[in-house]
Amino acid sequence: HRHCRGRWVVVATGTMAEGGESGSAATPLTFQNFLEKMRHPSASELVKSVKSFISSFGSGGVVDAEADSARIQEFLTTTEGAFRGHPAWRGASDDELDASGEGLEKYLMTKLHPSTFAVTGDDKRADKHLARRAAALRTFIRPEHLDIPAHFRVETSWRLAEEELAKVNHFKAPRDKLVCVLNTCRIVNNLLNTAGGNKPAGADDFLPVLIYVVLRANPPFLESNLRYIARFRRENRLRSEAAYFYTNLVSAAHFLASCDHAAFTNLDADVFEAHMLAEGVDPKQKPDDIELGEEAAAAPERDASRASRTTQAASTSSEAVSEPLRRENARLRAELEAAKRSLEEKAAFVARVRDKWRSVDDVEVEGAASLAAEDERGGVPLPYKFAYARADDLQIGDVPELLAGYKSLALQYEALTRGAAAMLEDLGGGDGGARRSGHLQGASKDEKGAGGRREAEVADVDGLATFAPGPSAAASPANAAGAEDPFAGLVIGRTSDATSTRDATFAGL
């Protein structure tokens, strides 16, 4: 598709998707299902293979993003292929096998994220270049410069789209990042369809609005996120609507990184250049022209110069002092060096901790790995009545107890999730609050937008929206007595007379 003035080009062909993904309903599988499969005794060799790949990855010391992409894609393809003939997946449907592949990708890339995201000089330069240009353009570019009609300028929808795009840095798995991209694009698409009288939106309408949303949001590391998705999202899953919207976002980012005055309506060259220069950005600068770490590179030279001058002064003065003072000086220097090393070690430790525990997803993955390891050593006995029950083990009389246990489990899981998020925020561990228990299934209450409804449903990537992080299997069931259960006063739904005796604040949950 091309704009009538030939300014916006979308690589993907085809019409704008109007609704959700077609096909059969997705099987309700979770990340926990994948981990349970991997805990099967027969999967021990697969587990060893995954762990060995993670531990050996990046050991060469040279960062080659394309080689890393090819290596990870090959490992994912080979391991997923092994699922089909494996005893742990005997009789599994195609949906179950595909969901297990999603789980493998999520687990692997969550672990390898620090070694694969924004690690090359090209990625860092592209991020810095785009962020600087977008920040400058945002100061003077208006919707009319992109020929966006007045009826498409809906501030509420634009803010929702910007918030969704900003969430891309909250997640580590390529699919989770892609969901943020689809959420953003679907909000824009729904806005255009609604404002246009439910007429299907075309690229000539869609791309300018998306460009303006990206310009306003200007999320950090956008180029690195787009490259990360392209490199490490399974190639056979980046298709259909996901591929179309992803390609549009790539086009929007490229436009902002390379546009000049001619790309906008009624904007003179000298005005464009004056605004850009006023923001400290050379409008003709290319990503390759950006120097990385100029201040950081100069700092060691300054420090070395100071150290040299200090050493020379100390050497000169030491000739005039007595031996005891010379020894005292040496002792203080040694203590200072030891203190500096200690501080550096502590700083490195804090950095490792913050990098490891950045979100509740990290906590869940680590806990799941711990359960898997314990299961390999002899099993994980769970003291819950229905933990090992099959569907044909249940009787009608079990329903009230099973329902009560499920409600207590849901409340405890939500409380633990929010508590862990708050703890990570207090520790300064990054985006502790970014995790939502239903990220891939639906938006949180706060995300349902102004006016009491969301502009768009949370994206369903290739019909796998139900593949979301599920509740931990280690949550406790309801305490029948209710005396010592901290959740005994909470009620989900309205059950007989329970709501009349419990805290009315939670009666509507």
* The predicted structure's pLDDT at residue 308: 46
Given pLDDT bands bounded at 50, 70 and 90, which one contains residue 206?
Answer: very high
Reading the block at residue 287, the tokens are: 């990503």
Given pLDDT bands bounded at 50, 70 and 90, which one contains residue 326?
Answer: low
* The predicted structure's pLDDT at residue 401: 85
Mean pLDDT for the chain? 73
464 vs 385, which has greater pLDDT?
385
Reading the block at residue 133, the tokens are: 């240009």
Reading the block at residue 126, the tokens are: 């592209």
* The predicted structure's pLDDT at residue 29: 60
| CA 67 and chain centroid, separation | 23
Reading the block at residue 335, the tokens are: 């203590």
pLDDT higher than threshold 50 for residue 304: no
pLDDT higher than threshold 50 for residue 9: no
For residue 361, count CB atoms less than 10 angstroms from its CB and return exposed for 0-12, middle for 13-18, buried for 19 or more: buried
Distances (CA, A) of 104 to 107, 122, 230: 5, 28, 17
Q: What is the helix (H) or strand (E) element at residue 462, kind and residue range?
A: none
Residue pLDDT, tens place only, 278-301: 999 998 888 877 776 543 333 334
Describe the crossing of helices 94-116 and 31-38 by its angle, rounded to 10 degrees.
90
d(CA 436, CA 456): 17
* The predicted structure's pLDDT at residue 462: 40
Given pLDDT bands bounded at 50, 70 and 90, which one contains residue 440?
Answer: very low
φ, ψ of residue 243 in degrees (nearest 5): -65, -40
d(CA 103, CA 32): 8
Reading the block at residue 115, the tokens are: 């070694």
* The predicted structure's pLDDT at residue 378: 67
* The predicted structure's pLDDT at residue 5: 35
Over residues 301-308, mean pLDDT = 42
Give the count of beta carbons closer than 10 Å to the beta carbon of residue 290.
16
Give every CB contact of residue 282 below 8 A, 6+ residues apart in sequence.
276, 289
pLDDT higher than threshold 80 for residue 352: no
Q: 210 and 252 in contact (C-beta within 8 Å)?
A: yes
264 vs 56, which has greater pLDDT?
264
* The predicted structure's pLDDT at residue 255: 96
* The predicted structure's pLDDT at residue 482: 40
Lowest mean pLDDT among 162-166, 245-249, 381-385: 381-385
pLDDT higher than threshold 50 for residue 50: yes
* The predicted structure's pLDDT at residue 301: 41
φ, ψ of residue 372 in degrees (nearest 5): -60, -40
Given pLDDT bands bounded at 50, 70 and 90, which one contains residue 387?
Answer: confident
Given pLDDT bands bounded at 50, 70 and 90, which one contains residue 56?
Answer: confident
Residue pLDDT, tens place only, 479-491: 433 434 444 444 4
Nearest to 201 by CA among 8, 459, 20, 18: 18
Give every CB contact of residue 299 below 8 A, 6+ residues apart in sequence.
none
Over residues 139-147, mean pLDDT = 95
Residue pLDDT, tens place only, 218-232: 999 999 999 999 999
* The predicted structure's pLDDT at residue 396: 86
d(CA 408, CA 418): 15
126 vs 286, which has greater pLDDT?
126
Most confident of 8-12, 84-88, 118-122, 332-336: 118-122
Amino acid (1-letter code) at residue 488: A
